[in-house]
Amino acid sequence: MKAFIDSDVLIWHLRGERKALNLIRKLRDKEQLDLWTGVMQRAEVIFFMRPNEEEDTLLFLSQFQTAPVDQKIIDKAGELYRKWNPRHGIDINDAILAATTMQTNGRIYTLNVKHYPMPDVIVQQAWKV
């Protein structure tokens, strides 16, 4: 199974949060899962990094494959967004990651489980792994 790491966990890792480091190590080494991130989650990290963080950030992100987004994923993400945004306040990035994991049989690891209320999305509270 593909382990999709949400941007919140990526950011906490870059800030030095030990729980994030332990999660990523556990998924990669003990569970031997392929580490992935969504295209929008990678974009969030890259767009908001400071110039002095670029080298370390890109080195860290090189551990993750970034899932491509195609028309099928965007169409599904639009459907999810229209259905779940009014009741749960999910954003576009959440909808795209949810659709990506649905298409690739992945699991999302996040601190914001409430952002993924869709019954067909497998989501795991990051620090409870």
Q: For the chain, what is the radius of gyration of the CA atoms?
A: 14
φ, ψ of residue 53 to 5 degrees: the values are -100, -5
CATH no. for 2-125:
3.40.50.1010
Asked if 65 and 42 count as a contact pair (C-beta separation under 8 A), the reply is: no
Domain spans in the chain, listed from the N-terminal domain onward: 2-125
**pLDDT confidence of residue 88:** 85
Q: What is the pTM of this model?
A: 0.94
Per-residue pLDDT of the chain (129 residues; tens, 9 = 90+): 899 999 999 999 999 999 999 999 999 998 889 999 999 999 999 999 999 999 999 999 999 999 999 999 999 999 999 999 988 889 999 999 999 999 999 999 999 999 999 999 999 999 998
d(CA 104, CA 93): 17
**pLDDT confidence of residue 55:** 96
Structure tokens at 109: 């690891």
